[in-house]
Amino acid sequence: MENVFSKYGFIIKNVEEVKDAKGTLYSAEHKRSGAKLYFLQREDRNMTFSIAFRTPPQDDTGVFHIIEHSVLCGSRKFPVKEPFVELLKGSLNTFLNALTYEDRTVYPVSSRCEKDFLNLTEVYLDAVFHPRMLSDENIFLQEGWHYEYDEQTDTLSYNGVVYNEMCGAYSSPEEAAENELRASLFPNTVYCRDSGGNPDFIPELSYEELKEAHKTYYHPSNSMIFLDGSVCLDKALPLIASYLDEYEKTEISVIYPIQPPVFTKPKTVEFEPGGDPLARVLFGYVFSSPETKNIDYALSILDSTIAGTNESALKKALLDSGLCEDVVTSVYRSRQTQYTIEVIGVKEEDIAKIAPTLESIIRGLAKQGLDKERISALINNDEFRQKEALGGSTPKGVLYALTAYSYLNFGFSAADALSYSDDIEFARAKLESDFYEKLLLDATVDNPHRASVIMLPKEELEQLRAQKKKELLKKIKDSLSKSELDEIVQKQKRLSELQAAPDSPEATATLPKLDLSDISPKVARKNTEKISEDGAVILNHGIETDGITYVTLCFAADDLADDELLYASLLTSLLKNLDTKERSAASLQNDIKSNLGALYFSLSTFPLSDGSGGARLAFTATASSLVRNKEHIVRLLSEILTSTDFSG
């Protein structure tokens, strides 16, 4: 393996086994450019490429968000307006996106077809290192912001993709509250800034500043490249190196310091009530960090324990107090972990009662002791989730890359980021002590690093803001000369013409394409064993499931009358959420979380195999668990399907 890396200019710095990901992690550096490259070698038909850059915002102009949009608008080698839109027409990708975080920007892609994987990797590399935006101001005007002047009404306005996107985001009370809370908790770090961009400040960004930010931070020395799966290094590394070789290593200092504890007075923010005329109160706490990964994990389990459902202790107590309509909590991990408790639907006269009520509830929970059976169930359930690497349609390699960056961005180990067994063992080992009770107090009411935000509804707030913006734009317009207004009109016209014009055939022809010969004609066949027992057909699929058992029971339902379908659909929601003849719904839920990974019921259609185009309707029960818990699937399904109590 070392010879493969060295052949293309990389030096292996470290090799580690990552047991939880069933792979070997190679950490390397490109000698010439200083780029860091990580390859998680493991068996996975999905091949993942991702490149990330540390992008610390220094203001609220959203410069890195605009860059993320802009680099995807064509590049040196692929000079089309929307290369990824064109690629999607003929790509077999399983993931393709770009993501702007508060401190990094990530460009991940995944495909099961090797040629497609290499094509997309090349387009991404060309996009981030040689974007057309560096030579075409119109891309900045389109994706960032620009003035528009209406000569008939003599009015000036703002327009731009990111500008409009963030105007929509800032109309949300959740966005406004979270931004204010984050600014209060991290006043001396980049996290007090909005990397997405505040609409009030986006128009302060110039094209020259955009280019300078790209030049500074989109350098290989500031990059982190992640490869995952069954990648052929002899094909991927020379492609990657062909871009890195253009650069000389340079020192780019990006440091994310720890914010010392702050304890601020509550801040008040107004929001347009719409259909929500009541106040909100947010409490934010900064507690752990990547250095205390085990504690960080335990905090997420604690949060699920006390606020995961309406029946969870903290949430139920707040709802029962009658002071609010809902409670939402979150654990957000970055350089430091932020824990947020948001109390929604509070009458203005009750706002002053929320903080002391919350503190009283938390101290009461710590004193009486937390439900350890519930905590154990949540740990077991999370172990399943981690093992399965649930991400819906997101490939595991992409999830691994995004997880790794959350540690690599701050100089910590990617292998540590991808390992979860130690966290789970740590969380389990603390069940027999008062660890979780102390953690609850230390993370919240006894925490010296905290802040709060009060969100007050204000009618016609958006109108007031619109009027303020209108007055600002009028002031700007009045300060411009006729020639300056004419220039705005001309820029506006050129941008519209360019947006309407199709890409030339020559430009479109530069995009890589797949041929039929690039796609394997082989179809992966399942080794399925068919067994008949007591009139039932059992299909046993012999496929690798990474230590997880999956069971689906299908009951023919094509004889249901039309009016019965509604009740059958309702039944899928009721099952597992009602008492059974043996016990309460709460006890059943704990059992499910303790021993299963997933359990749900649904109505499903299955196509007939006779070529008629017909289908059959079935009522299905689907469950999964770790192999060691597979007997619980049968036990729980049997209890739910045969003894659910519908009398209540």
Active site residue 582: no
Segment holding 566, helix H or strand E: helix 562-574
Return the residue matching tokens 């990708």: 93
Nearest to 305 by CA among 596, 640, 623, 594: 594
- In one-letter notation, the amino acid at residue 88 is L
Q: What is the dihedral of CA 270, 272, 278, 282, to 10 degrees?
A: -50
- In one-letter notation, the amino acid at residue 187 is P
Query: How many Å apart are CA 405 and CA 94, to the nearest integer?
Result: 20
Residue 35 is given by DSSP the state -
Distance of CA 55 to the CA centre of its chain: 17
Catalytic residue (one of 29, 68, 165, 388): 68
Nearest to 429 by CA among 291, 339, 294, 331: 294
Nearest to 140 by CA among 218, 57, 219, 63: 63
Within 13 Å of residue 61, how many CA atoms lie on the same side as its CB? Answer: 17
Residue 601 is given by DSSP the state E
Token pair of 193, please?
A: 């800034």
DSSP sequence for 454-491: EEEE-TTHHHHHHHHHHHHHHHHHHHS-HHHHHHHHHH
Query: How many Å apart are CA 174 and CA 167, to the nearest integer?
Result: 13
Give the length of the chain: 648
Catalytic residue (one of 86, 143, 165, 383): 143
Nearest to 77 by CA among 243, 218, 190, 206: 243
The SS3 call for residue 171 is coil
Active site residue 143: yes
Token pair of 88, please?
A: 């999607």
Residue 308 is given by DSSP the state S
Q: Which residues are part of the catalytic machinery?
A: 68, 143
